[in-house]
């Protein structure tokens, strides 16, 4: 019995160490700033693929330390305005990007797919630059995020049985994201998702500009085709493929 107990204890310790272990320079954002809201969508079925992506064992935002510290500075500025960052994706294992490419080429186009890609066939997403086999996310220096108004009611949750409108529709008919109305949902592969899209309202445009300006003050650069995507020049490097494991408390 004692030997069995020792073996189980060894397995438990090894699993805990493995859960916390990260390559040099990477950190859990929650260890830098636990006030930043996280909704890591690729660890769930609430994303354009409709299932967790390869390598997303836990819904944790992992970033390079410098990136995390700058996000903390952005969050401190926003907190004074009753706003918060909300992370949708951070470090992305390289295997997840390949998973996206395989999905785009699987020959099936479903209603759920079209909710995120209402006008562009999924087979065209790679060619048009919406999906890449080598993503900057895999370096730990790229992020997908939005803003949350902390004074608003952000309690609405996804109802899997509901037939939501596509990502370009009004915020009342799109799947709820618990964030400000940026004019489209997250991961909306449509011209309306371009940061400077002319087809959004004045208020939606103001929110996008507010997010871009807050991030820019800490050196982050927005990707013009995705209002939610930012990167920190010089903070990247080699791409990684380690899985995102649960963070140890």
- Calculate the alpha carbon distances from 148 to 55, 155, 169, 180 in Å: 27, 12, 19, 6
Question: What count of other Cβ atoms lies within 10 Å of the Cβ of residue 1?
Answer: 5
Please say whether the beta carbons of 84 and 63 come within 8 A.
Answer: no
Residue 45 and residue 146: Cα distance in Å, rounded? 19
Write down the mean pLDDT value for the chain. 89
The b/e string for 177-215 (b: 16+ C-beta within 10 A; e otherwise) is bbbbbbbbbbbbbbebbbbebeebeeebbebbeebbebb
How deeply is 126 buried, as exposed, middle or buried, from its count of CB atoms within 10 A (0-12, 13-18, 19+)? middle
Q: Convert the pLDDT of each residue in 126-151 to its tens digit.
A: 777 777 777 899 999 999 999 999 99
206 torsion bin: left (phi>0), alpha (psi -120 to 50), beta (else): alpha
Locate the DSSP E strands across 82-152.
83-89, 142-149
SS3 of 227, please? strand
Q: Convert the pLDDT of each residue in 184-237 to its tens digit.
A: 999 999 999 999 999 999 999 999 999 999 999 999 999 999 999 999 999 888
Residue 89 and residue 168: Cα distance in Å, rounded? 20
Q: Convert the pLDDT of each residue in 160-180 to its tens digit.
A: 888 999 999 999 999 999 999
**Strands of 221-223's sheet in order across:** 37-38, 83-89, 142-149, 226-231, 221-223
Q: Where are the domains of the chain?
A: 2-231
* CATH 3.30.1380.10 for the 2-231 domain, yes or no: yes
């Amino acid at each position: 019995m004692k030997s069995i107990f020792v073996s189980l204890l060894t397995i438990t310790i090894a699993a805990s160490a493995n859960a916390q272990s990260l390559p040099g320079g990477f950190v859990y954002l929650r260890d830098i700033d636990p006030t930043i809201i996280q909704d890591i969508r690729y660890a769930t079925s609430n994303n354009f693929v409709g299932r967790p992506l390869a390598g997303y064992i836990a819904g944790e935002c992992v970033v390079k330390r410098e990136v995390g510290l700058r996000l903390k500075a952005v969050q401190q500025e926003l907190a004074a305005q009753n706003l918060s960052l909300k992370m949708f994706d951070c470090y992305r294992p390289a295997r997840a990007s390949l998973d996206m490419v395989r999905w785009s080429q699987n020959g099936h186009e479903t209603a759920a797919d079209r909710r995120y890609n209402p006008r562009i066939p999924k087979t065209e997403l790679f060619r048009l630059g919406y999906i890449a086999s080598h993503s900057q996310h895999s370096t730990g220096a790229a992020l997908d995020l939005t803003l949350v108004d902390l004074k608003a009611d952000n309690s609405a949750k996804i109802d899997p049985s509901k037939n939501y409108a596509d990502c370009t529709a009004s915020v009342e008919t799109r799947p709820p994201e618990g964030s400000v109305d940026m004019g489209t949902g997250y991961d909306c592969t449509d011209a309306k998702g371009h940061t400077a899209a002319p087809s959004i309202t004045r208020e939606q445009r103001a929110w996008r500009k507010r997010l871009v300006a807050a991030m820019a003050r800490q050196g982050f650069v927005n990707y013009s085709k995705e209002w939610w995507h930012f990167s920190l020049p010089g903070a990247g490097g080699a791409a990684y493929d380690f899985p995102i494991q649960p963070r140890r408390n």
